[in-house]
Amino acid sequence: MNDMAKKRQKTAVVVGANANLGSAIVKALKDKGWVVDPTWLGPDRPDGRKEESYKHLPPVIDLAVYVAGINEISPTQDLSLEKWQSVMDTNLTGAFLFAKNAFEGMKASGGATFVAISSINSVHPYPGRAAYTASKAGLEGLIRALAIEWGEHGISTHAIRLGHLKGLMKKLKTNPKLAGLLDAVVEETPLHTLIDPATVASYILWLAEGGSRNISGCVIDFEPAYTINRYPIER
């Protein structure tokens, strides 16, 4: 990281900043004195699925985080192409467009970090979530590809394969089936807890403030051993 990057105030862009996890990330950054691009924070934020939305990014970007994501729950045989494409556009194409257009700003940083939020569904899919699963698996592939291409420019890339958060990713009406799912997840998790969004935000901040200096292209399983708890009988 060059001397200029060390002296100036750090700048972050968080796409998908208004919901549960995004808000926690923004708070953690601001608490540490980072400047967070306000373009993506308000109710009139741009549509992250469109390339023109990224034409006015900051000239220097030290941290770029893609949190935006949607799900469409449906048996695959009943899933329409329109709904499939909607999930792909939000979860994968938007991340590609963000990365592509943030490249020059991250390159100017001299040591930028790009983070995308994936899901445990990428390797442990739930039924009825084919589009979501495929989009997150593609997102992880994108992160690995960018690590190979962009390392020479001082840019590290990371995917967080996220488990179940406390609180919803988006502000949605309570679904009784979802509550039952989360209760079952807690029961099957060795630590018997869901993930605090603030801990995810702290990890991203750690990456951005030097933790990513020697790691790139990685996918971290950010969850308390729920997906590896496979002991088949009652303890």
**Tens of pLDDT along 84-116?**
999 999 999 999 999 999 999 999 999 999 999
Query: 18 in a domain, yes or no?
Result: yes
Residue 225 lies in a domain: no
Given a cut of 90, is residue 2 above it in pLDDT? no
Whole-number average pLDDT of the chain: 93
Q: What is the pLDDT of residues 124-154, one digit of tens each?
A: 999 999 999 999 999 999 999 999 999 999 9
pLDDT given for residue 1 in this prediction: 46
pLDDT by residue (tens digit) across 24-35?
999 999 999 999
Residue 178 is assigned to a structural domain of this protein: yes
Quick one: average pLDDT of 157-162? 98
Smallest CA-to-CA distance from 68 within 122, 136, 144 is with 136
Q: Is the dihedral of CA 96, 97, 103, 106 positive or negative?
A: negative
Is 231 inside a domain boundary?
no
User: pLDDT band at residue 174, thresholds of 50, 70 and 90?
Assistant: low
Is-contact 147 99, C-beta < 8 A? no
Structural domain count, the chain: 1
- Print the domain residue range for 170: 3-220
Assessment of whether the complete model's pTM goes beyond 0.85: yes
Q: What angle do CA 45, 203, 224 make, to 5 degrees?
A: 110
Is residue 214 classed exposed, middle or buried when 0-12, 13-18 and 19+ CB atoms within 10 A define those classes? exposed
Backbone phi, psi, residue 129, to 5° = -130, 40
The amino acid occupying position 30 is K
Q: Residue 150's domain is classified under what CATH number?
A: 3.40.50.720
Confidence of residue 233 (pLDDT cuts 50, 70, 90): confident
For residues 17 and 23, is the Cβ–Cβ distance under 8 A?
yes
53-67, 82-96, 124-138, 220-234: segment of lowest average pLDDT: 220-234
pLDDT of residue 19 exceeding 90, the answer is: no
CB neighbours of residue 213 within 10 Å: 13
Asked whether the predicted pLDDT for residue 49 surpasses 80, the reply is yes
Residue 14 forms part of a structural domain: yes
Q: How confident is the model at residue 234, as a pLDDT?
A: 72
Cα 207 to Cα 3, 63, 64, 127, 158, distances in angstroms: 19, 9, 11, 33, 9
Look at residue 168 and tell me if it is in a domain: yes
pLDDT of residue 185: 93
Take residue 200 and report the two structure tokens written for it. Answer: 């995810």
Task: Compute CA distances 182 → 157, 160, 171, 177, 179, whole Å.
Answer: 30, 20, 16, 9, 5
